[in-house]
Structure 1
Amino acid sequence: MTINPRFEGASPIDDLPCDHGFLNDVWEGLSAKPKFLSAKYFYDAAGSELFEDITGLPEYYPTRAELRILDEHGAAIAAVLPAGSALVEFGAGSTVKVRRLLQHLTDLRAYVPVDVSGDFLRAQAEELRRDIPGLAVEPVVADFTHPFALPASIGDAPRAGFFPGSTIGNFQPDEAVRLLDIFGTILGEDARLIVGVDLVKDTDVLEAAYDDAAGVTAAFNLNLLARINRELAGSFEPDNFRHRAFFNAEASRIEMHLVSHRDQEIEVAGRRFGFAAGESIHTENSYKYSVESFRALAAKAGWTACDVWTDPEGLFSVHALTRSSSQTA
């Protein structure tokens, strides 16, 4: 077994200028059998840039397919939402997708983007205010996986939610049910929810989308190790790991892993972790659904299927769900 000595004698945890939540999650994941790391830590500045590059790759169909649905069916999707709604976007990043809906929502009471990245969120909100002067934009800095309060300024406007990008697929099915239930709690009775959902399809198409020929997704996955090195005094040598992505048909999910080339030992903030050759760190799941299986999952969280739109190739879907007062009681 090789030991990387680069951070021999690393600083004690209290001396590290790091997010201790991140550190604890990394320690927990690397101590587990099998090892894992949370996909939410992909998105530092470098990771976010790499993901934007991924969305433009020829193999990566989800963004392209969803934008086509929003372009071709935006008016019909917007028509599902009650007049004078407050539109809450969970995990709002770039406004590219929501703008497809906003052009059809001329009577919107307010747009409420929600994200943990406050600086980026506020910058996007200000840009949207400049571009659509009559739109009330009320950003909320919050973790959308937990309940949070909506701005008092939206008053008693009907609530609608927007959750594009197939992010729902990054949650295990029971976690996805819990998340949809949280959305229902936040939005309240008679709410509507628009959700992007990736569909099951040919395995070759799925695997290529997560293991592109240019190696951008591999760089995105490996960047997680570089982030640990930089922020948590880690001693990973990224060249000692390789990206692996495959479709687990039984679980109906793409899995991403980082596989150790050799026996080795690494250190993170003073704690050491051993790897055997061929041992992997499970870094992401991306669940794929049929229209029917996603509707069944949403029903477990108290949502009723209303409408669904797909692209012509059947690669992706956008669902409209409704939540009645009887379902929230």
Structure 2
Amino acid sequence: MTGPRNYGYTDTLEAEHYATALHADIHDGLTSTPKSTAPTWFYDARGSELFEQITQLPEYPLWRAELGLLQCHATDIAARTGARSLVELGSGSSTKTKLIIEALGPAGLRYIPVDVSADALHQASTQLVQDYPGINLHALRADFTAPLVLPELPAHGSRLIAFLGSTLGNFRRSTRVPFLRGLRDIMRPEDFLLIGADLVKDKHEEEMISAYDDSQGITAEFDKNLLHVLNRELDADFDADAFDHVSVWNSAESHIEMRLRSRVEQRVKIRGLDLAVPFGPGEEWITERSAKFTTDGLRGEMAGAGLRTDQLWADSDAGFALILATAP
């Protein structure tokens, strides 16, 4: 992949990475009890388009809450970190990151967007080098849930690793601290980690649920898009009309679960896996978990991973927080 002189690209993934991961997760997830798969597979072109629509829904304040906090505190983040290298995990369109880039000063800034989608990386990166000609951008196609090897970065000066969008909430509780510990292992004492996290809305359970089950049905269409992806990629015969979208609050785990509930007894053939999957009437398949945090819980998980909280900014009205941590 080529681009302007200030645009580099490294691909660390094998050509079959997507297919191998998809096969393993769907096979294991749909032969488990309860059925449960990763949210990764929502995001083909149609799924990404639907998610962009979701971020603008009145029921989904998360995107706007994080944007508002960044608008208020990007200058604080830049002053505290003094970073001249910015690494963004799961960069996607890099929309919010522009606030950080501008606060840090794009001239001479080393920016490393990390994503599994080559198309998303190329599209966002091409736009960024046009918007900020002085930036030094090196896109990295990688699975950041695995041990991460960054391209060569300046030996001196602090680095800021950004993980926005409350994507940390998609990790199960048992895997979050090991993931954070992996990030801590690639950080130097002068580096910083910035994470966006959605907070528990005490006494507002219905509000949290409605963010994942909007009145227009866009989230339901997004959830069911998984079935269309599996039909295409794995030669399956899912009937989207045979499932209902359901969103529930799991108070024991402090997360929202999106589920597909089978409307009838059915047996789905997934020819690409040589698998037939039975569903009972009313049986539910967990397609996404989205953890909600408390500020004390966030600090605790950072400490458990060997990270020290430098600053936490919270919007109690919107129920969202940004936490900035170091690796002492």
Q: What is the TM-score of this pair, normalised by structure 1? A: 0.89
Residue identity opposite 2:265 in structure 1: D
Q: Which consecutive residues of structure 1, in runs of 5 or more, have no partner in the other structure?
A: 1-17, 325-329
Q: 1:129 is paired with a residue of what secondary structure?
A: helix
Deviates more, 1:151-160 or 1:196-205: 151-160
Match of 1:47 in 2: 47
1:286: Cα distance to partner?
A: 0.5
1:188: Cα distance to partner?
A: 3.0
Q: 1:188-199 counterparts in 2 under 5 A?
A: 188-199=188-199
Maintained 8 Å contact 2:198/2:320: yes
Maintained 8 Å contact 2:38/2:287: yes
1:119: Cα distance to partner?
A: 2.6
Q: 2:322 is paired with a residue of what secondary structure?
A: strand
1:63 aligns with 2:67: no
Deviates more, 1:26-35 or 1:155-164: 155-164
Query: Per-residue displacement from partner, 1:147-182 (whole Å, max 9, x unpaired)?
Result: 232222534342211011000001012211111111
CA distance in 1, matches of 2:261, 2:299: 35
CA distance in 2, matches of 1:67, 1:141: 25
Maintained 8 Å contact 1:147/1:186: no
1:279 aligns with 2:279: no
Residue of structure 2 aligned with 1:295, choices 276, 283, 299? 299
Q: RMSD value over aligned CA atoms?
A: 1.5
Q: 1:177-216 counterparts in 2 under 5 A?
A: 177-201=177-201, 202-216=204-218
Residue identity opposite 2:93 in structure 1: S
Residue of structure 2 aligned with 1:323, choices 310, 313, 327? 327
Runs of 4+ in 1 over 4 A off after TM superposition: none
1:144 aligns with 2:144: yes
1:314: Cα distance to partner?
A: 4.2
1:323: Cα distance to partner?
A: 0.9
Match of 1:158 in 2: 158
Q: Give the total of aligned pairs.
A: 306
Query: Per-residue displacement from partner, 1:222-255 (whole Å, max 9, x unpaired)?
Result: 1101111111110111100001101111211101
Maintained 8 Å contact 1:88/1:112: yes
Q: Relative to 1, partners in 2 of residues 1:153 and 1:168: Cα closer, same or farther, differing over 3 Å?
A: closer
Q: Relative to 1, partners in 2 of residues 1:55 and 1:308: Cα closer, same or farther, differing over 3 Å?
A: same
Query: Per-residue displacement from partner, 1:69-98 (whole Å, max 9, x unpaired)?
Result: 111222112222135x31110111112110
Q: 1:43-122 counterparts in 2 under 5 A?
A: 43-83=43-83, 85-106=84-105, 109-122=109-122
Match of 1:237 in 2: 239
Deviates more, 1:102-111 or 1:134-143: 102-111
Q: 1:260-279 counterparts in 2 under 5 A?
A: 260-269=262-271, 270-279=274-283
Greater RCO (CA < 8 Å, at least 6 residues apart): 1
Residue of structure 2 aligned with 1:248, choices 236, 246, 250? 250
Identity of aligned residues (%): 38
1:20: Cα distance to partner?
A: 3.6
Deviates more, 1:152-161 or 1:289-298: 152-161
Query: Per-residue displacement from partner, 1:44-87 (whole Å, max 9, x unpaired)?
Result: 1111111111000000010011101111222112222135x311
Match of 1:29 in 2: 29
Maintained 8 Å contact 1:308/1:319: yes
